[in-house]
Amino acid sequence: MTSSPSGDREKVVSKLPAGLQQDLKIRTAQHGIDIQHAVEAGITAWRGLGANLSPIDTARAKSFSTWLPSGQWEGFRADCSARGVSLVQGLSQSIQLWLDKNPAPDVQRPVIVRRIIVCNQKGGVGKTAVAAGTGEALAEDAEQLHAVRISKHFANALSETDPAQDPVEAAHDPLEYEDLPGLGQRVLLVDFDPQCHMTKQLAHEPLPIEGDSLTKHMAGEGKGDLRDLIVEVEDERFGGRLHLLPACTDAFLLDVKLSGVRAREAALERALMPLEEDYDAILVDCPPSLGLSMDAAAYYGRRRPEEVPGNSGVLVVVQAEDSSADAYGLLTSQIEDLRDDMGLDLEYLGIVVNHYDARRGYIATSSLESWMEIKDPRVVGVIGDLKEQKEAVRVKRPLLAYAPRCDQAVALRALAREIS
Q: What is the CATH number of the domain that holds 250?
A: 3.40.50.300
Same-domain check for residues 328 and 257: yes
Q: Which of 101, 123, 148 is the last residue of a domain?
A: 101
- What is the span of the domain harbouring residue 124? 114-418
211 shares its domain with 296: yes
Same domain, 18 and 154: no
* 277 occurs within a structural domain: yes
Residue 368's closest CA among 356, 380, 384, 378?
356
What confidence score (pLDDT) does residue 3 get? 46
Within-domain flag for 2: no
> pLDDT at position 316, please?
93
> Contact at 8 Å (CB) between 334 and 297?
no
Are 79 and 167 in the same domain?
no
Look at residues 101, 128, 157 and tell me which one is the last residue of a structural domain.
101
Angle between helix 152-160 and helix 362-373 axes, rounded to 10 deg: 110
Indicate if 184 and 82 belong to the same structural domain: no
Other C-beta atoms within 10 Å of 337: how many? 12
Residue 300 lies inside a defined structural domain of this protein: yes
Q: What pLDDT is attached to residue 162? A: 45
In a domain, 323, yes or no: yes
Burial of 159 (0-12, 13-18, 19+ CB in 10 A): exposed
Domain C-terminal end among 79, 101, 123: 101
Statement to judge: residues 82 and 184 lie in one domain: no
Q: Check whether residue 71 and residue 217 sit in a common domain.
A: no
* 109 lies in some domain: no
Burial class of 257 by CB neighbour count within 10 A (0 to 12, 13 to 18, 19+): buried
Q: Do residues 126 and 355 make contact, with C-beta atoms less than 8 angstroms apart?
A: yes
108 within domain boundaries: no
What is the distance between the alpha carbons of residues 168 and 310, in angstroms, rounded to a whole number?
Answer: 25
Q: Are residues 144 and 287 in the same domain?
A: yes
Q: Which residues pair with 62 in a beta bridge?
A: 16
One domain for residues 175 and 90: no
- Could you tell me if 55 and 203 lie in one domain? no
Are the CB atoms for 226 and 274 separated by under 8 Å?
yes
On whether residue 213 sits in a domain, the answer given is yes
The pTM (predicted TM-score) of the whole model is: 0.85
What does the radius of gyration of the chain's CA atoms come to, in whole angstroms? Answer: 25
User: Considering the domain boundaries, does residue 3 fall inside one?
Assistant: no
Residues 6+ apart with CB under 8 A from 104: 26, 27, 30, 142, 143
Q: Which amino acid is at 159?
A: S
Instruction: Tell me: do 259 and 290 sit in the same domain.
Output: yes
Query: What sections of 287-377 are H helices per DSSP?
Result: 292-300, 322-342, 362-373
Compute mean pLDDT per 10 residues along the chain, 420 residues long, and list them.
Answer: 62 95 94 94 95 92 95 95 95 96 91 94 86 98 88 43 46 64 97 94 95 93 94 96 95 85 91 97 91 90 94 93 79 85 89 88 86 90 92 96 94 93
Q: Read off φ and ψ for residue 8, nearest 5 degrees.
A: -105, 30
Pairing of strands 313-319, 348-356: parallel
Number of Cβ atoms within 10 Å of the Cβ of 193:
23
Helix (H) or strand (E) holding 10: strand 9-17
pLDDT at 6: 56
Query: pLDDT at position 223, please?
Result: 87
Helices and strands, counts by H and E, the chain: 17, 12
Are 219 and 288 in the same domain?
yes
Q: Into how many domains does the chain fold? A: 2
